[in-house]
Structure 1
Amino acid sequence: MGRGKSNDSKNAKVKEKTKMQLKRRIGCFDGVSFIIGTIVGAGIFVSPTGVLKHSLLNVGVALTIWTASGLVSLMGSLCYAELGTALPFSGGEYSHIKRGLGSVPAFVFIWTSTFTKPASNAARALLFAEYVTQPFYSICPAPEVLKKCLALAVLWSLGILNGRSVKMAAWVQTVFTLLKMMALSVIAVGGIVLLAGGRKENLARFEDMFGSEMPNASQIAEAFFQGLYAYGGWWSLNYMAEEMKNPSRNIPLTVMTAVPAVIVFYLLNSFLLSLLEIQNMVPTPLLMLFFLAVAVAVTWADRVIPSVAWIIPLSVAVSIFGALNSSIFTLGRLSYAGSQSGHLPVLISMLNVHTCTPAPAMIFSTTIASIFIIPSDLIMLTNYFGFSAWLMIGLTCASLIVLRYREPNLHRPYKVIGNKL
């Protein structure tokens, strides 16, 4: 009898040890790649045009707005770092809102995100298809069917990859992050060479950077919004907090490495892209900037590196691909967390037996994104996910404040103000 109880106890321990759960396989370097890879999408090739336009081509104001946008993003990422270290669970904002504000706001968040975030992925996939196919058709528009098929192929390829292996997804993210940073470096070096040439018309623009017409408050707000768009994605690390090695140390360290690095690269590239006389390329609606990214970048390349101008459209495609991979990775964790809490069907919380990855959650989110590709209306998609994203960020930061008062004794390895690493 005693031996039977002993065996039952041992079996229980074995089951506990072999319980299916996400593994901690993401290190600091992988985290940096995911954050940079998510932030640096098409935005840096697009938003400088919008920021300059709404700054009335005042270079000093434009660079100030880029700096302010970066600092706001950095402060937001530090708030998320505190939440991620105190509550290192999958689901990011969903888990934090649920703990801080309750189940009802979390329920609204998960069901809103179930559609808005796949819509964002659908927009990225369509943009990738646009930039890859258009060079083969010169001035003629690429067939819509071809773009949709390519977008679906990329979406499902990355969805399957992320559902099968965390290591492979992290490897792909690292490679494409390095490629896009190389592309930004090429732009930066080319711009420095242009400045070093000593053309008076180039240098004259920076002798009195604040000397031109000053924008009004409304125009500054528009420019600031577009700057924030380019920094979007700094919140991605919290979605994978449950899989971070030593989250208490690595989450704040990763954030403090990745976000300032992006700010530096953005400021440098925005400064150099300001050399272009692009007044005739600046569109009026914000969302039309998506379609002018290649035009602006190719014009820059034709002036600075005409022999390899093709590298710019390729760089835009690489940037979007890396951002899409990171977004698919984090979205699977969000669906997984929502299912574990009972706010989504329980089937989605299951893990792949061999790899311990949330494969059903990946299939679920990728299927919804595929549906959004069918109408292929980028303006509708970006309108759909843009406003809700910042609303949810506001709720998450509110949950940080609520938890400070409601749970003052909650173990916080990192605090935005007060504690050292």
Structure 2
Amino acid sequence: MKMKTRGNFQLQRVIGYFHGTIILFSIIIGAGIFLAPKGVLKYSSLNVGVSLSIWAACAVVSMVAALSHAELGTTFPRSGAQYYFLKRSLGPLISFSYIWVNLFASPAGTAARSLLLAGYIIHPFYPGCSVPEMPKKCLALAIVWCLGILNARGVKEVTWFQTLSTVVKMAVLCFISLTGIVLLVRGRKENLARFEKAFDAEVPDASQIAEAFLQGLYAYSGWGVLVRIAGELKNPGENIPKCVITALTLVALIYLLVNISYLAVLTPKEIMSSDAVAVTWMDKVIPSMQWAISIGVSSSIFSSLNCTVFSSSRVLYVASQEGQLPLILSTLNVHSCPVVAVLQMTILASFIIIPSDLILLVNYVGFIDWLQLGLMMTGLLKLRFQEPDLPRPYKVRLPFVFGTIAMSLFLVLTPILKSPNMHYTYVLLFLFSGLLLYFPFIHFNLNCPYFNKITCFLQLLLNVSPGDDIDEYISAEGTLQKNQPEIAAKTE
């Protein structure tokens, strides 16, 4: 098969500051802002002041964690930087555990949110009754495969789609925010009453505040996406921190305004009794415009899903380059897209859609995100002392790192100590099951003669070729030096 010339056949750095901010903005604003307000208010004991304070505090925590995390992508400006960083700082076993979890967690999350999106789209066709499972699952499968095809077309198509979908959901959220501001400025008594004595309600205890934080942080999740795609960012050393600060500041402002708008129209009890807060809000303000909320929610979930497929496939790509996944996953198509990694995620998500209890499956691996972040911050501290002369275009302050580790421990240990159950045992068993593959195929480099034949067959079938070695060629806009030491040998 004819290959492109060296220097061109690899992931291309085409994402600048604007599109990087759009991608970060669109993955954070998913279903969370439409679902989490109810949970935050519930665990705040219906205390309006505490609820809004927690939303603001979650923004600060997310900003600190995201800026700490950004150093990974600026020090190693390559796609899948989290994986590569863990391998370099804490060793191949930890990095393989990270990739093992993401190999199944990302498709599971994609499948669950595809079903949620399908439910929102189909629900208007079944007024007054529950949506049948079969059409919902068929539509979810169609959504997953549309995402796969879109991502296979390359990064430019993905960024333009993200820009369009972000405009749609921003229009809906701005409408909700501005309407709330107008209602408060007009000064109607029923709109102002809940804010005049915001802290007069019952004050939640420490365990409830922890639960409220978990609910709020869910709405801010996704801020690590730029580190996953650092190999496709222009000037990542400068753009990653700038995009993080810009996007999270805007998200925090919008989230606060949207929650204020909800509370200006609905009482805390009305919010708690609602299955879809935004829909209930619109029913009170302009009942004939409920369809606009459906479009906004659908656009938010779909664009967030698209970012997840886009970024997760890059982690599989770099893990394959490092020899911890089959070589075929590090091949690129004519659009410089790791199409086999995208296809693998799409197929796995399609299979996971078939069972119905997806929420439980996602819960098994959900809390590992903050555990992994704690490990990354530990690795960051280790590398600071182990390789002090390593070029770091952006260097986060140590108090931010220690604060992120403390929050990670808090969020991981609190649910285990507060309500221990079998879920966490299942998670640990799932983690250790990866060792059954790691030691024979990675540590002892056991090779099967059929692997090469399968790889060649898939290359010809899918018209893909291996990309250039990222350590031999780094775009001039990156900052990682050539021929980095301590790179693990690839499997032949």
| TM-score, length-scaled by structure 2 | 0.78
Residue-by-residue CA offset, 1:175-197 (whole Å, 9 max, x unaligned)? 11121111110110121222234
Code of the residue aligned with 2:51 in structure 1: it is A
Residue-by-residue CA offset, 1:151-172 (whole Å, 9 max, x unaligned)? 1111111111111221101111
The reply to whether residue 56 of structure 1 matches residue 45 of structure 2 is: yes
Code of the residue aligned with 1:331 in structure 2: it is S
**Counterpart Cα distance in 2 of 1:343 and 1:213:** 52
Aligned to 1:80: 69
The reply to whether residue 134 of structure 1 matches residue 123 of structure 2 is: yes
Code of the residue aligned with 2:43 in structure 1: it is H
Aligned to 1:182: 171
From 134, 137, 142, the counterpart of 1:148: 137
The reply to whether residue 357 of structure 1 matches residue 337 of structure 2 is: yes
Code of the residue aligned with 1:63 in structure 2: it is L
Aligned to 2:220: 231
From 213, 233, 236, the counterpart of 1:247: 236
Residue-by-residue CA offset, 1:362-391 (whole Å, 9 max, x unaligned)? 001111111111113232233133112222
* SS of residue in 1 equivalent to 2:367: helix
Deviation at 1:343, TM superposition (A): 1.0
Larger relative contact order (Cα-Cα within 8 Å, sequence gap ≥ 6) = 1
**Counterpart Cα distance in 2 of 1:366 and 1:383:** 20
Aligned to 1:319: 300
Aligned to 2:391: 411
Are 1:34 and 1:326, in contact at CA under 8 Å, matched by a contact in 2?
yes
* SS of residue in 2 equivalent to 1:113: helix
The reply to whether residue 390 of structure 1 matches residue 370 of structure 2 is: yes
Deviation at 1:15, TM superposition (A): 5.2
The reply to whether residue 338 of structure 1 matches residue 319 of structure 2 is: yes
**Counterpart Cα distance in 2 of 1:47 and 1:56:** 15
Structure 1 unmatched ranges of 5 or more: 1-13, 284-291
Aligned to 1:286: none
Moved more, 309-318 or 69-78: 309-318
Aligned to 2:87: 98
**Counterpart Cα distance in 1 of 2:84 and 2:203:** 43
Moved more, 168-177 or 198-207: 198-207
- Indicate how the Cα distance of structure 1 residues 378 and 190 shifts in structure 2: closer, same or farther if over 3 A, else same: farther
Question: Which residues in structure 2 correspond to 1:118-129 (within 5 Å)?
Answer: 118-129=107-118
Moved more, 22-31 or 305-314: 305-314
Are 1:120 and 1:385, in contact at CA under 8 Å, matched by a contact in 2?
no
Are 1:52 and 1:62, in contact at CA under 8 Å, matched by a contact in 2?
yes
Are 2:79 and 2:227, in contact at CA under 8 Å, matched by a contact in 1?
yes
Aligned to 1:287: none
**Counterpart Cα distance in 1 of 2:7 and 2:35:** 49
* SS of residue in 2 equivalent to 1:310: helix
Runs of 4+ in 1 over 3 A off after TM superposition: 14-18
Are 1:123 and 1:381, in contact at CA under 8 Å, matched by a contact in 2?
no
Aligned to 1:380: 360
Deviation at 1:199, TM superposition (A): 2.2
Question: Which residues in structure 2 correspond to 1:147-166 (within 5 Å)?
Answer: 147-166=136-155
Are 1:184 and 1:269, in contact at CA under 8 Å, matched by a contact in 2?
yes
Residue-by-residue CA offset, 1:100-135 (whole Å, 9 max, x unaligned)? 211110011101110011111111111110100001
Deviation at 1:278, TM superposition (A): 4.2
Are 1:120 and 1:382, in contact at CA under 8 Å, matched by a contact in 2?
yes
**Counterpart Cα distance in 2 of 1:71 and 1:346:** 40
Aligned to 1:279: 269
* SS of residue in 1 equivalent to 2:229: helix
**Counterpart Cα distance in 2 of 1:140 and 1:100:** 53
Aligned to 1:202: 191
Residue-by-residue CA offset, 1:46-86 (whole Å, 9 max, x unaligned)? 11111111111111111111111111110111012111111
**Counterpart Cα distance in 2 of 1:124 and 1:381:** 12
Aligned to 1:43: 32
Equivalent residue pairs, number: 394
The reply to whether residue 303 of structure 1 matches residue 303 of structure 2 is: no
Identity among equivalent pairs (%): 51
Residue-by-residue CA offset, 1:241-300 (whole Å, 9 max, x unaligned)? 0010111111111111111111111111112212312425537xxxxxxxx653x22110
**Counterpart Cα distance in 2 of 1:271 and 1:407:** 47
**Counterpart Cα distance in 2 of 1:258 and 1:44:** 15
* SS of residue in 2 equivalent to 1:274: helix
Aligned to 1:108: 97
Residue-by-residue CA offset, 1:380-415 (whole Å, 9 max, x unaligned)? 233133112222122122221111111111101111
